[in-house]
Structure 1
Amino acid sequence: MSIRFRSPAQRAYTWRVGLAMGVYLVSLPAAVQFVGKGHVPHDSPLAWLLALIPGIAVSGVFWAYGKMLLEESDEYQRMLHVRQSLIATGFTLAIVTIYGFLENFGLVGHIDAFYVAVLWFIGLGVGGLVNRLTLGTTGWDCR
Structure 2
Amino acid sequence: MPATPALRRYNKRVLISCAAYGFSLVGGISYFNNHPGAHGPTAYLAAVIPALAIIGVFVAVGRYLVEERDEYLRMLMVRQSLVATAFALSLATLWGFLNSFDLAPRIDSYYVAVVWFAGLGVGSCVNALIERRAR
The alignment's TM-score, normalised by the length of structure 2, stands at: 0.93
The aligned counterpart of 1:119 is 115
The aligned counterpart of 1:140 is none
After TM superposition, give the deviation of residue 5 of structure 1 in Å.
4.4
After superposition, the C-alpha distances for 1:66-100 in whole angstroms (9 at most, x for unaligned) are: 00000000011100100000000001111110110
After superposition, the C-alpha distances for 1:17-38 in whole angstroms (9 at most, x for unaligned) are: 1111111111101111112x25
The aligned counterpart of 1:16 is 13
The alignment's TM-score, normalised by the length of structure 1, stands at: 0.88
Q: 1 CA distance for matches of 2:116 and 2:62?
A: 14
Amino acid at match of 1:95: L
Q: Of Structure 1 and Structure 2, which has the larger fraction of its residues in helix? A: 2
Aligned ranges 1:1-143 → 2 under 5 Å = 5-35=2-32, 37-39=33-35, 42-136=38-132
Moved more, 61-70 or 40-49: 40-49
Give percent identity, aligned residues only. 47
Q: 1 CA distance for matches of 2:100 and 2:128?
A: 36
Runs of 4+ in structure 1 off by over 3 angstroms are none
Q: 2 CA distance for matches of 1:130 and 1:11?
A: 23
Amino acid at match of 2:94: I
The aligned counterpart of 1:141 is none
Structure 1 residue runs without a partner (length 5+) = 137-143
Q: 2 CA distance for matches of 1:23 and 1:127?
A: 25
Alignment length, in residue pairs? 132
Q: Is the 8 A contact 1:5 1:11 kept in 2?
A: no
After superposition, the C-alpha distances for 1:26-62 in whole angstroms (9 at most, x for unaligned) are: 1101111112x25275221111111100000011000
Q: 1 CA distance for matches of 2:2 and 2:44?
A: 38
Q: Which has the higher contact order (CA 8 A, sep 6+)?
A: 1
